């Protein structure tokens, strides 16, 4: 459950940011020791649509992946 919450939080943050070719993960609270986040961006459709993948790791192992899309408007 913690991994899902962290992934959703990271994705919400990306969606609030100005459209860019990459996004940095928000630092994870010290309440979640051993967790880290990575954000991967696939630029599609002439750079106007992105597939965003957020991966949450715990002690170096993938535990949650969340995908969504972002459109440059």
| Nearest in space to 3 (alpha carbons), one of 68, 59, 69, 55 | 55
- Interval 11-32 mean pLDDT: 95
Give, as one character, the DSSP assignment of residue 27.
P
- Interval 4-16 mean pLDDT: 97
Cβ–Cβ < 8 Å for 7, 21:
no
pLDDT digits (tens, 9 = 90+) for 26-67: 999 999 999 999 999 999 878 789 999 999 999 999 999 999
Phi (first) and psi of residue 14, to 5 degrees: -60, -45
- Interval 20-25 mean pLDDT: 95
Please give the sequence-ordered ranges of beta strands (E in DSSP) within the chain, or none if there are none: 35-44, 49-58, 61-71
pLDDT at 58: 97
Q: Are strands 49-58 and 35-44 parallel, antiparallel or unpaired?
A: antiparallel
């Amino acid at each position: 459950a913690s991994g899902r919450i962290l992934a959703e939080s990271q994705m919400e943050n990306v969606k609030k940011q100005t459209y860019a070719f990459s996004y940095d993960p928000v630092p994870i609270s010290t309440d979640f020791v051993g967790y880290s986040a990575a954000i991967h961006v696939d630029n599609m459709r002439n750079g106007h649509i992105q597939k965003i993948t957020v991966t949450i790791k715990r002690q170096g192992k993938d535990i949650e992946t969340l995908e969504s899309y972002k459109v440059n408007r």
